[in-house]
Amino acid sequence: MMETFKAILVTKDADAKRQNPPEIVDLVLTDLMEGNVTIRVEHTTMNYKDGLALTGKAPVVRRFPLIPGIDLAGTVTASSHTEYVVGDRVLLNGWGVGEVHHGGYAGVARVSGDWLIPLPQGLDTAQAMAIGTAGYTAMLCLLALERQGVAPTQGPVVVTGAAGGVGSIAVALLARAGFDVVASTGRTEEASYLRSLGAKEVIDRTELSGPAKPLAKERWVAAVDTVGSTTLANVLAATRYGGAVAACGLAGGMDLPATVAPFILRGVSLLGVDSVMAPTLRRIEAWDRLARDLDRDLLASLTTEIAFDDLIPTADRILAGQVRGRLVVPVA
């Protein structure tokens, strides 16, 4: 008898117009999609996008039935890929996994080896998933700002959505890099938590949520924005001359009700940061920096472990902004 494994599966209703509530089911290897590497998944995580996928509140899942989960880490159990052999420890972020290809919310995954990277030295699978796409995206933002020439001596940096997954790790990474970090959050009760991550100042998100002026008083030289919409417009308006903003999220909306004033009058750069299709070498650079620069005790302090069976009910909580920091989920 073929071995079964537990998975979360999302389907559509009979007329294929609405996504059904996700279910925990038992699957076998033949239920998986094609791929040249099979992985025993040890840990996964939940990001904002995963919450959208599980609830169906945005069209993240574009193929049905599908196993969600855009992150996974585990051990290779079968491979015909030239770079990986049985026993290798690997991780995966993005590449359409959990959107159009079965993802990490299962005991076993079969994927293209081209989507994998080796588990960085010094990280175990639980730590890698405590970082997850959220932390990896935060590091991509830091790298983008560094490539733009932004330095701590030039002034403070603001992080929006600072108590969330990307925001929490961005605060920690930027503080570790020497920046004075301004943390913007809608949960001001998390001020002590954000200061423990390295924030020098905590501001209420309402300061950045109203209609944006073309230009505002210059407050910071750089930003990591996870919110979009009017928040991003206000961040841009308050960015100092020659500064840069790394935009990586849309928790507040996909629109950008701004003017060109920050770009043509202050020379501000808006840097788009994509984690899904980032090339392999950039991924490895980001993960190597995370393994080297992210304090393990600090990572543990911003991480909560939840059971696999709790993934589904947690989806609504992460979308409502009720989850602080990062979630790690043992699978195996």
Query: Is the CB of residue 137 less than 8 Å from the CB of residue 275?
Result: yes
Does residue 126 lie within any of the structural domains? no
Low pLDDT (below 50) residues in the chain: none
- Same domain assignment for residues 143 and 259: yes
Query: Is the CB of residue 66 less than 8 Å from the CB of residue 152?
Result: no
Q: In terms of Cα–Cα distance, which of 159, 163, 95 is closest to 133?
A: 95
Tokens of residue 13, six digits: 């209703």
- Same domain assignment for residues 65 and 145: no
Does residue 181 lie within any of the structural domains? yes
Whichever domain contains 183, its CATH number is 3.40.50.720
Which residues lie closer than 8 Å to 315 by C-beta, 6 or more apart?
Answer: 46, 50, 51, 54, 55
- Same domain assignment for residues 259 and 314: no
pLDDT at res. 16: 64
- Same domain assignment for residues 195 and 146: yes
pLDDT digits (tens, 9 = 90+) for 293-329: 999 999 999 999 999 999 999 999 999 888 888 999 9
Query: Is the CB of residue 159 less than 8 Å from the CB of residue 167?
Result: yes
For 21, how many CA atoms within 13 A lie in the half-sphere containing its CB? 6
Q: Exposed, middle or buried by CB within 10 Å (0-12, 13-18, 19+), for 323? A: buried
- Same domain assignment for residues 145 and 268: yes
Tell me the sheet residues that pair with 25.
Answer: 7
- Same domain assignment for residues 144 and 259: yes
Tokens of residue 269, six digits: 């750069």
Q: In terms of Cα–Cα distance, which of 249, 244, 238, 189 is closest to 222?
A: 244
DSSP letter at 124 equals -
Rounded to whole angstroms, the Cα distance separating 72 from 54 reads 16
Torsion sign across C-alpha atoms 319, 321, 323, 325: positive
Does residue 295 lie within any of the structural domains? no
Does residue 25 lie within any of the structural domains? yes
Does residue 278 lie within any of the structural domains? no
Q: In terms of Cα–Cα distance, which of 292, 243, 300 is closest to 268?
A: 243
- Same domain assignment for residues 11 and 92: yes
Does residue 291 lie within any of the structural domains? no
- Same domain assignment for residues 10 and 114: yes
pLDDT digits (tens, 9 = 90+) for 82-140: 999 999 999 999 999 999 999 999 999 999 999 999 999 999 999 999 999 999 999 99
pLDDT at res. 3: 86
pLDDT at res. 58: 87
Pairing of strands 157-159, 220-225: parallel
Rounded to whole angstroms, the Cα distance separating 286 from 283 reads 5
- Same domain assignment for residues 258 and 309: no
- Same domain assignment for residues 265 and 318: no
The domain in which residue 268 lies consists of 134-272
Does residue 293 lie within any of the structural domains? no
Rounded to whole angstroms, the Cα distance separating 28 from 163 reads 38
Q: Could you give the number of structural domains in the chain?
A: 2
Does residue 198 lie within any of the structural domains? yes
Whichever domain contains 99, its CATH number is 3.90.180.10
- Transcribe 162-219 into DSSP letters: TTSHHHHHHHHHHHHTTPPEEEEES-GGGHHHHHHHTEEEEEEGGGGTSPPPSS----
